[in-house]
Amino acid sequence: MSDYSNFDHLIERLENMDGDTDRWLFIIENPDLFVVLLDNDDTQIKCIGDDRDEPAYTQLDYIGCSDGVYRLCEALQLNAEGV
């Protein structure tokens, strides 16, 4: 079983940052910790391995799901999923 309190702590850390620029920089520096969830309405970040029915996540300013965003995430070696 995963340590869910660690996931909660990481998401809280993201939420306490000054803005999305700081959040994205932290995600880029720690690509093995997070997955970017992209759909037509939301851009969310959750921790890799948080398999709860309702995992901890944070909402970022909307980017949207498009091929360009996927390519950017891949270029930065970020985990991204369309949802």
16, 60 contact by CB (below 8 A): no
Bridge partner residues of 45 (DSSP): 36, 58
pLDDT tens digits, one per residue of 5-21: 999 999 999 999 998 88
Between 53 and 73, whose confidence is greater?
53
Distances (CA, A) of 79 to 18, 30, 72: 23, 10, 11
pLDDT tens digits, one per residue of 34-72: 998 877 777 889 999 999 999 999 988 766 666 567 777
Report the candidate in 57, 55, 62 with the shortest Cα–Cα distance to residue 41. Answer: 62
CATH numeric code, 4-82: 3.30.720
Position 60 scores a pLDDT of 81
Position 50 scores a pLDDT of 93
Between 77 and 35, whose confidence is greater?
35
By the 10 Å C-beta count (0-12 exposed, 13-18 middle, 19+ buried), 75 is classed as exposed
Reported confidence tier of residue 81, pLDDT bands at 50, 70, 90: confident
